[in-house]
Amino acid sequence: MSTIYRNLEGPFTKKDFEVKVTLPHPVVPDFITYRHCNLPLMGVGENGTEQPFIYFDDLIDTSYLKKIKEEVLIGEEKNIVGFNKIVANGIVPARINGQKSIDSLIHHIEKYAPDNTWKENILKLGRKGDIKVFLHDYFKINTAWEGIAMFRKYNGAYEDKSNPSEWLSFMDHFPTMYKFVESLPFKYVGYVMIFKSSGKNPVLIHRDYYPTNHSVNFINFRLNQKPRPFFLYDMHSDKKTYVNPDKNSYFFNEIDAHGLDIEDESRLTLRVEGQFLDSFKNQIGMKHNDTFNWDFEHSRNFLKSGLFKIEESTDI
């Protein structure tokens, strides 16, 4: 595969997608998000259109998952580990989720929150994530996740989440999770986290990052042994592709838009980030190291169609 584009990111750079707004805050003056684009499902790897998901149940012993769930619930009950609220990133048109995205509202906050009461409240907060969660609640957007719990060192940067990281000091309380993660086919492990869904609200459709070349590898493990209505969403055709309900472990391309329909109860998902072993990549059919690359044939073909559009408006 020969690279034809002008930089490592592909035909577009962060500047093509990035939007910045200034907030009246002494510590967190800027808020950054990414523009909407109508990218269809690109899937995983060079044959991405044929594999929106990759499943691992036949390759990995998932018998540990029930015990891991028990460890996490006990750890939460004993306050060994806590769940911090998270909010999806990116500007998404209101027509897709039936409501404006929090990122659109923040970027036009003077228009949608003219009473200005939010200004005094955000001054009490010192982290960008906490400010976004507060504004999420301020605009009465239903929370999809009860939170996320981290088990390895974490700095909050998307770009660093697959880089090598270290276990946090409380892992003696989670021996099954530790043993399981250490046994997985990764060269090295980055973030390890548990997502806890609310069971009352859907996960609104979003992307985790703007469409750039990337090699993020991860596995999601479903700890509740019930099917989940998790799906990938094609921004071009407006169609959903659901995860196989019989599978407990899967991988997808995080720049593909995705979401979760309302469930009947709160659920736990273990995610392990890092870099797969080369032998494992070959085993699952990732011919090149990239999870997504604009030089893949299906990526080039969509660009050549002239249908790709980056939405300039942030009030959508």
255-266 pLDDT per residue, tens = 999 999 988 888
For position 287, what pLDDT does the model report? 78
Residue 21's beta-bridge partner residues?
31
**Per-residue tokens: 21:** 């707004």
DSSP state of 214: B
Cα(84)–Cα(244) distance, integer angstroms: 28
Per-residue pLDDT of 273-300, as tens digits, reads: 999 999 999 999 887 778 999 999 999 9
Please check whether residue 135 is in contact with residue 146, taking contact to mean a CB–CB distance below 8 angstroms.
no
Q: What is the amino acid identity at position 42? A: M
How is the chain split into domains, by residue range? 14-304
What value does the mean pLDDT take over residues 96-118?
A: 92
Segment 222-230 mean pLDDT: 88
Position 7 scores a pLDDT of 65
pLDDT at 302 over 60: yes
- Average pLDDT for 175-185: 98
Measured from the Cβ of residue 134, the count of other Cβ atoms closer than 10 Å reads: 17
pLDDT at 2 (0 to 100): 52
175-183 vs 65-77: helix crossing angle, rounded to 10: 140
Average pLDDT, the chain: 91
Enter the tokens of residue 197: 């869904």
Q: Which residue has the higher pLDDT, 155 or 223?
A: 223
pLDDT classification of 31: cutoffs 50, 70, 90: confident
Q: Judge whether residue 8 has pLDDT over 90.
A: no
* Secondary structure (3-state) at 53: strand
pLDDT above 70 for 1 = no
Beta partners for residue 285, in sequence order: none
Percent of residues, the chain, with pLDDT higher than 90: 71
The whole-number pLDDT of residue 157 equals 72
pLDDT value of residue 87:
84
